[in-house]
Amino acid sequence: MQNLNIDSIKKRSFDAIVIGSGISGGWSAKELTGKGLKTLLLERGPNVEHIKDYPTTNMNPWEFKHGGQITKEMRDANPVASRCYAFNETSAHFFVKDAEHPYIQEKPFDWIRGYQVGGKSLMWARGTQRWSQYDFDGPARDGFAVEWPITYAELAPWYSYVEIFAGISGNKDGLAQLPDGEFLPPHEQSCVEKHFTDVMAKKYNGARPIIIGRCAHLTQPQPIHLQQGRGKCQHRNICERGCPFGGYFSSNSSTIPWARQTGKLTLQPDSVVHSIIFDEKKNKATGVRVVDANTKQMTEYYAKIIFVNAATINTNLILLNSKSTRFPNGLGNDNGLLGKYIAFHNFRTTMSAEYEGMLDSTTAGSRPNGSYIPRFRNVFKQETDFLRGYAAGFSASRMTYNDTSGIGEDLKTSLSNRKFGNWRVGSHMMGETIPKESNYVALDDKQTDAWGVPLLKVSVAYDDNDEKMIKDFHEQLTEMYTAAGFTNIRTHDNPNKAPGLDIHEMGGVRMGKDPKTSLLNKWNQLHACKNVFVTDGACMTSNSTQNPSLTFMAITARAANNAVEELKKRNL
Amino acid sequence: MKRRAAMKSLGVALGGLVALPAWANSWTPDSIGNSTLLALNDEILLAEIVETFIPETNTPGAKSLKVQQFVQRMIQDCYDDTAKNTFKQGLLKTEELALKANNKPFVQCDAKQRTDLLLQMSNDAATKPFIGLVKNLTIRGYTNSEYYLVNIAKYNMVPGFYKGCVPVG
């Protein structure tokens, strides 16, 4: 019996455990297995294997029972998930259903989750811009949160490293606030997007550049992508169903199969991590407690190092729930700051307008991308009455419509004759929000979920800084749109739209220089438990205005590399 | 070699694709199945109403494309009770008005009588919501049918390209 037990423990022992298989977890698994570590990759949801488990990816549009629309029953049952732009009849199977995974909204927060192998990397919007030194300088310069322990220069080689493997399309624009990367050919701007770019260049003397978006699409696959079994983006624009070509980056098409090829990966779906085991004698973490999603049975798994990549809020949850005599308030939480300083991106407002010029032109094909207005407010110095700034999307395409006024043969004829209207232009704001102690997540004292894990309470809200920024966005974009000759300019703000739908929540386990004011050091190790690493959005000290996923990838690759070096030096 | 292997696996995936775009959310009579919303005689009535909006010419009309099934499925699964009520009451009203105007049920009226009746109903505040609901869903069902998308819209699920500026036409 004793031998059996030893065998069982041996079977459950690895060099490394990675919690979560989304964008950052996939990179952890790839890097750690690539450096020879026997790695257990845990995912709380079911397996999703590239191509095979994309049930709707090749479905013809008419094969959907409700024309792609969510039924009333589904919408009523999922008020949170159904507010997400990508949640529809073709993709709903990749989204967490509200009733199955409850949480407590102390303040309204739309928590959008994807519990399956690959996580949200299957349904993300794929914007991938580098952050600049102006983003990493933010807290120290403007006096909020806490100073970042890393610089852009330290991260730059790791950005290059992940960009080359993931495949990022973009144009080299030479902007200080938005560093160039290792780009595949860019998508084209539409004629009205180019017009806007040109007018803005003249009006603002280059201070407000408009560029084509940078996105994780293979516009021209390189040998490294073909080796992954991925091919060129086919411009289908139905990415949230999963792409059978591997045309965009996902854990499923890229990092996980790559990790598997090393022979070092054990991928274990349906594994809900309850907590991390801390051994007080060894003064380090020795493993994780996992609840089987189906049988609800708990099993322990052991490893020398643990990477927590459960996605920001769940990473906070797992650490908060990892209680021991040494850490009664959660693993590494000596300063009581774990779960605090959560921030997000302000996506609350949009603009729309029309352009009555260039009516002899239109676009053709489709583009899984748009143009992009990099942050132009408070970049080089403070110039407004709010801190930080916003980036924005910008896109222009030709409106088409059918005359539906008639009845009978008239109607039928007009339905066969699509007409061109004006160009339709629009922008969505992507504002940096300031991490604050009052924006936090915490465990509920009493209620637990179906797996015995305490329910999470979320208390995150907009503040005055966000309101001022929204006002400025409306004013500046209106000025810019007007200068470009756009008409019918409208602002669309909904103050009741809760944070969360941006799906860019970050923080709670922030990096910093001082263990008194941060949870993680510059190598993403918990200050107080050095063999536990957090490299997903939870580690972010501040938020920038750029999409964060590429930065999660770069930070993860950098931290994994360092972790393996430290392991070799027997420091862990 | 690796490249060839990769391209080969892509070829397999390509074979399964048909040329239609994402946004052209569509349906077929098979995909939507039978609805339990209406009794058979009401379904026959609805078929004649959608056919009046989009009639058979030298190309299929709404009835032969079974747009009436799509309309029912959408109202049953995607709409609230107010809309469901508007829909059911509207069908009754259509029948009542047909009898009143032409002394025969709607399905026995000729094309002109049907058209006149629906036009009249679309101008009456009481029946306008019903006409709007059914007309919109008829248009949606027709323009998102396999027939329309393949033969008229000629949409392509896999364009494989994007051009930012091309001449209209």
With a cut of 90, say whether residue A264 has pLDDT above it: yes
With a cut of 90, say whether residue B52 has pLDDT above it: yes
Would you state the pLDDT for residue A513? 98
User: Given an 8 Å threshold on Cβ–Cβ distance, is A62 in contact with B27?
Assistant: yes
User: Given an 8 Å threshold on Cβ–Cβ distance, is B159 in contact with A234?
Assistant: yes
Q: In this structure, how many other beta carbons lie within 10 angstroms of the beta carbon of residue A113?
A: 24
Backbone dihedral region for residue A339 (phi beyond 0: left; psi -120 to 50: alpha; all else: beta): left
User: Given an 8 Å threshold on Cβ–Cβ distance, is A189 in contact with B22?
Assistant: no
**Dihedral angle of Cα A509, A513, A515, A521, to the nearest 10 degrees:** 50
Cα–Cα distance measured from residue A555 to residue A563, given in angstroms and rounded to the nearest whole number: 12
Q: Do the bridges between strand A371-373 and strand A390-401 make them parallel or antiparallel, or are there none, so unpaired?
A: antiparallel
A214 to chain B, minimum CA–CA distance in Å? 15
- CB-based contact, A513 to chain B, within 8 Å: no
Residues of A within 8 A of B123 (CB-CB) are none
Q: Do the bridges between strand A265-268 and strand A39-42 make them parallel or antiparallel, or are there none, so unpaired?
A: parallel
- CB-based contact, A412 to chain B, within 8 Å: yes
With a cut of 90, say whether residue A2 has pLDDT above it: no
A247 to chain B, minimum CA–CA distance in Å? 11
User: Given an 8 Å threshold on Cβ–Cβ distance, is A66 in contact with B152?
Assistant: no
With a cut of 90, say whether residue A545 has pLDDT above it: yes
Nearest CB among A67, A194, A364 relative to B163 is that of A364
- Hey, of A56, A60, A227, A423, which one would you mutate to test binding to chain B, going by the most B CBs within 10 A of its CB? A60
Would you state the pLDDT for residue B169? 75
A122 to chain B, minimum CA–CA distance in Å? 16
Task: Give me the mean pLDDT over the A541-563 stretch.
Answer: 98
- H-helix or E-strand spanning residue A313: helix A312-320
CA angle B21, B25, B27 (to 5 degrees): 120
Residue in chain B closest to A405 (alpha carbons) equals B135
Q: Find where tokens 């004698």 sit.
A: A281
Cα–Cα distance measured from residue A44 to residue A155, given in angstroms and rounded to the nearest whole number: 30
Residues of A within 8 A of B162 (CB-CB) are 187-188, 235, 363-367
The pLDDT confidence band at residue A3, using thresholds 50, 70 and 90, is low
User: Given an 8 Å threshold on Cβ–Cβ distance, is A364 in contact with B166?
Assistant: yes
- CB-based contact, A90 to chain B, within 8 Å: yes
ipTM, two decimals: 0.91
Would you state the pLDDT for residue B28? 67
With a cut of 60, say whether residue A1 has pLDDT above it: no
Cα–Cα distance measured from residue A469 to residue A480, given in angstroms and rounded to the nearest whole number: 16
- Hey, of A51, A62, A360, A361, which one would you mutate to test binding to chain B, going by the most B CBs within 10 A of its CB? A62
Would you state the pLDDT for residue B30? 64
Residue in chain A closest to B50 (alpha carbons) equals A408
User: Given an 8 Å threshold on Cβ–Cβ distance, is B25 in contact with A89?
Assistant: yes
The pLDDT confidence band at residue B113, using thresholds 50, 70 and 90, is very high
With a cut of 50, say whether residue B1 has pLDDT above it: no
Would you state the pLDDT for residue B137? 97
On average, the pLDDT of chain A sits at 97
Q: Is the dihedral of CA B59, B64, B68, B70 positive or negative?
A: negative
Residues of A within 8 A of B27 (CB-CB) are 62-67
Would you state the pLDDT for residue A493? 95
Residue in chain B closest to A89 (alpha carbons) equals B25
B4 to chain A, minimum CA–CA distance in Å? 9
pLDDT in tens, A185-201: 999 999 999 999 999 99
Q: Could you say which DSSP state residue A512 is in?
A: -
Nearest CB among B25, B31, B164 relative to A191 is that of B164
Residues of A within 8 A of B117 (CB-CB) are none
User: Given an 8 Å threshold on Cβ–Cβ distance, is A408 in contact with B115?
Assistant: yes
Q: Which of B8, B166, B37 has the alpha carbon at shortest distance from A358? A: B166
- Hey, of A171, A394, A407, which one would you mutate to test binding to chain B, going by the most B CBs within 10 A of its CB? A407
Residues of A within 8 A of B74 (CB-CB) are 66-67, 69
Q: Which of A247, A195, A180, A254 has the alpha carbon at shortest distance from A220? A: A247
CB pairs under 8 A between A and B: 188
Q: Which residue has the higher pLDDT, A3 or A363?
A: A363
- CB-based contact, A1 to chain B, within 8 Å: no
Q: Could you say which DSSP state residue A427 is in?
A: E
**Which residues are CB-contacts of B138 (< 8 A; sequence separation ≥ 6)?**
B49, B50, B53, B54, B62, B67, B71
pLDDT in tens, B54-71: 999 999 999 999 999 999
Domain chopping of chain B, boundaries:
33-152
Q: Find where tokens 């992009």 sit.
A: A372
Helix axes B128-143, B40-53, angle to 10 degrees: 80
- H-helix or E-strand spanning residue A558: helix A549-568
**In b/e form, how buried is each residue of A319-353, taking b as 16+ CB within 10 angstroms?**
bbbbbbeebeebbbbbbebbbbbbbbbbbbbbbbb
With a cut of 60, say whether residue B5 has pLDDT above it: no
The pLDDT confidence band at residue A315, using thresholds 50, 70 and 90, is very high
Task: Give me the mean pLDDT over the B128-140 stretch.
Answer: 97
Structural contact between residues B49 and B71, judged by C-beta atoms closer than 8 angstroms: no
User: Given an 8 Å threshold on Cβ–Cβ distance, is A409 in contact with B161?
Assistant: no
User: Given an 8 Å threshold on Cβ–Cβ distance, is B159 in contact with A366?
Assistant: yes
B101 to chain A, minimum CA–CA distance in Å? 19
The pLDDT confidence band at residue A5, using thresholds 50, 70 and 90, is confident
Name the CA radius of gyration of chain B, rounded.
Answer: 21
Q: Which residue has the higher pLDDT, A74 or B41?
A: A74
Nearest CB among B32, B162, B167 relative to A188 is that of B162
B41 to chain A, minimum CA–CA distance in Å? 22
With a cut of 60, say whether residue B12 has pLDDT above it: no
Both tokens of A304, joined, read 């020398």
Residues of A within 8 A of B139 (CB-CB) are 402, 404, 411, 415
The pLDDT confidence band at residue A47, using thresholds 50, 70 and 90, is very high
